[in-house]
C-alpha cells in the first residue's frame, strides 16, 4: 500500500475518501434534482393547478442551487 | 318531550354543494379540500366537464416527515462530537454539511410534491384518483359517476378524530383490477379532509345522475 502511495504520489486519508464520496453524492443529488424538475413538469401536466407554476419554479430553483453547490463541492 | 326526540333537531346539517359554492368556502389552493376550484383542470378533462372537488391528503399527514426534517436540520451542529468526523479536515467537513443540507432539501421538496400532486378529483361526470408513487411511477384511476354503487367513509385513530379526516371508500360496478392486481374495483381516497362532506357531495351527484337517468345498474 505504501509503495502504491509513493508511486502515485497521493496520500490516501479518511478525509480524502469521504471527500470523494461526498462529491459522488452531490452529483447523484444533481441527477435526482434533474429528475424532480422533469417529474414536476409531468405532474403539472396531469393536474393543472393555479399554483403549479410556482411549484415548478421551486424545483427549478433547487436544480439551479444544486448546480452551484455541486460545482463548489467538486472544486473544494 | 324527552331529549331523545329533540336530538334530530340539534344535529347540524352539512352544507350541500350549491350552498358551499354560494358561500365560496374551501377555496385555498394549498388546502386539503377545494370545492369548485378555479383555473383547475386535468389531463383527460372534457370540454363540458366541471371540477367539483379537488382534494388531497389532510395536511396533518405530513407531520411525520416534517418532524424528521426538523430533527435532521440540527444534526450537522452535533456531528463534530463524533471522533471520526472530528478528525476530518475543515474542507471535507464543509462539503459534508453542504451535501447533508442539499439532501435534506431534496427530501422536503420531494415529500411536498408527492403530497401536493397526489390528488383525487370529483367532476360532474366522474371520479379521478391520481397517485404518484416516488418520482418515477404514476397511477391514475377513473370511474364514471353513474358506475358508483356505494359511498362510505371511516375515521380511525386519534389523529383522524382530532383533525377530522378519514378514508372515503367508493364501490363501483367495474370488475377491472389495478395493473398490479392488488386493488379491486373500489376507489379508496385516504386521509380525506371532511370525509362526511365529500361523501355528501358525491351522493348528491349520484342522485343527480339517477334523476337524469344516466345510471347503469
Residue ranges per structural domain of chain B:
46-211
CA distance A4 to A17: 16
Residue A7 within any structural domain of the chain: no
CA distance A70 to A74: 6
Q: Please indicate whether, in this complex, the C-beta atoms of A46 and B106 are within 8 angstroms of each other.
A: no
**Which pLDDT does position B1 carry in this prediction?**
47
Q: Compare all CA atoms of chain B with the CA of A72 and give the residue at the minimum distance.
A: B95
**Ramachandran angles phi, psi of B48, nearest 5°:** -95, 10
Residue A50 within any structural domain of the chain: yes
C-alpha dihedral (B52, B115, A54, B103), degrees to nearest 10: -170
pLDDT at position A49 over 80: yes
Helix (H, G, I), strand (E, B), or coil: what is residue A11? coil
**Which pLDDT does position B216 carry in this prediction?**
55
- Residue B86 CB partners (closer than 8 Å, separation 6+): B80
As a CATH number, domain B46-211 is: 2.30.29
Strands B137-144 vs B126-133: parallel, antiparallel or unpaired: antiparallel
Q: Could you list the residue range(s) of the whole structural domain that residue A33 is in?
A: 25-76
Using a CB-CB cut-off of 8 Å, the residues of chain A touching B138 are 42, 46
pLDDT at position A59 over 90: yes
C-alpha dihedral (B95, B98, B100, B102), degrees to nearest 10: -140
Burial class (CB in 10 A: 0-12, 13-18, 19+), B133: exposed
For residue range A17-46, list pLDDT tens digits in order.
Answer: 999 999 999 999 999 999 999 999 999 999
Instruction: Pick A67 or B43 by higher pLDDT.
Output: A67
Using a CB-CB cut-off of 8 Å, the residues of chain A touching B84 are 14
B102 — contact with chain A (CB < 8 Å)? Answer: yes
Q: Please indicate whether, in this complex, the C-beta atoms of A45 and B43 are within 8 angstroms of each other.
A: yes
CA distance B186 to B194: 20
pLDDT at position A11 over 60: yes
**Which pLDDT does position B185 carry in this prediction?**
59
CA distance B35 to B23: 11
Residue A3 within any structural domain of the chain: no
Q: Are B48 and B31 in contact (CB under 8 A)?
A: no
**Ramachandran angles phi, psi of B170, nearest 5°:** -115, 115
A68 — contact with chain B (CB < 8 Å)? Answer: no
Residue A67 within any structural domain of the chain: yes
Query: How many domains is chain A built from?
Result: 1
- The series of mean pLDDT values per 10 residues for chain B, 217 residues long, is 52 67 70 86 87 92 96 92 86 92 96 94 91 81 88 90 91 69 71 90 88 66
Using a CB-CB cut-off of 8 Å, the residues of chain A touching B89 are 15
**Which pLDDT does position B8 carry in this prediction?**
53
ipTM: 0.87
Amino acid at each position: 500500500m505504501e509503495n502504491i502511495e509513493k508511486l502515485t504520489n497521493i496520500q490516501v486519508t479518511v478525509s480524502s475518501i469521504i471527500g470523494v464520496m461526498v462529491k459522488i453524492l452531490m452529483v447523484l443529488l444533481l441527477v435526482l434534482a434533474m429528475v424532480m424538475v422533469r417529474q414536476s413538469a409531468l405532474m403539472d401536466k396531469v393536474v393543472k393547478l393555479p399554483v403549479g407554476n410556482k411549484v415548478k419554479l421551486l424545483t427549478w430553483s433547487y436544480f439551479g442551487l444544486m448546480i452551484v453547490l455541486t460545482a463548489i463541492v467538486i472544486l473544494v | 318531550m324527552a331529549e331523545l326526540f329533540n336530538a334530530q333537531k340539534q344535529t347540524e346539517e352539512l352544507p350541500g354543494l350549491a350552498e358551499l359554492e354560494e358561500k365560496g368556502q374551501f377555496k385555498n389552493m394549498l388546502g386539503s379540500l377545494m370545492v369548485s376550484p378555479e383555473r383547475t383542470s386535468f389531463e383527460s378533462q372534457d370540454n363540458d366537464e366541471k371540477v367539483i372537488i379537488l382534494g388531497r391528503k389532510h395536511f396533518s399527514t405530513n407531520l411525520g416527515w416534517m418532524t424528521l426534517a426538523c430533527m435532521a436540520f440540527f444534526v450537522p451542529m452535533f456531528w463534530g462530537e463524533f471522533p471520526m468526523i472530528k478528525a476530518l479536515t475543515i474542507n471535507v467537513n464543509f462539503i459534508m454539511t453542504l451535501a447533508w443540507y442539499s439532501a435534506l432539501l431534496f427530501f422536503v421538496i420531494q415529500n411536498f410534491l408527492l403530497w401536493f400532486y397526489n390528488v383525487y378529483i370529483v367532476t360532474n361526470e366522474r371520479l379521478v384518483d391520481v397517485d404518484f408513487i416516488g418520482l418515477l411511477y404514476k397511477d391514475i384511476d377513473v370511474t364514471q359517476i353513474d358506475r358508483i354503487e356505494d359511498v362510505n367513509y371511516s375515521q380511525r385513530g386519534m389523529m383522524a378524530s382530532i383533525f377530522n379526516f378519514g378514508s372515503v371508500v367508493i364501490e363501483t360496478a367495474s370488475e377491472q383490477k389495478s395493473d398490479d392486481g392488488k386493488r379491486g374495483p373500489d376507489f379508496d381516497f385516504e386521509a380525506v379532509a371532511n370525509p362526511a362532506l365529500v361523501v355528501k357531495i358525491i351522493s348528491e351527484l349520484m342522485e343527480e345522475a339517477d334523476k337524469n337517468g344516466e345510471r347503469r345498474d
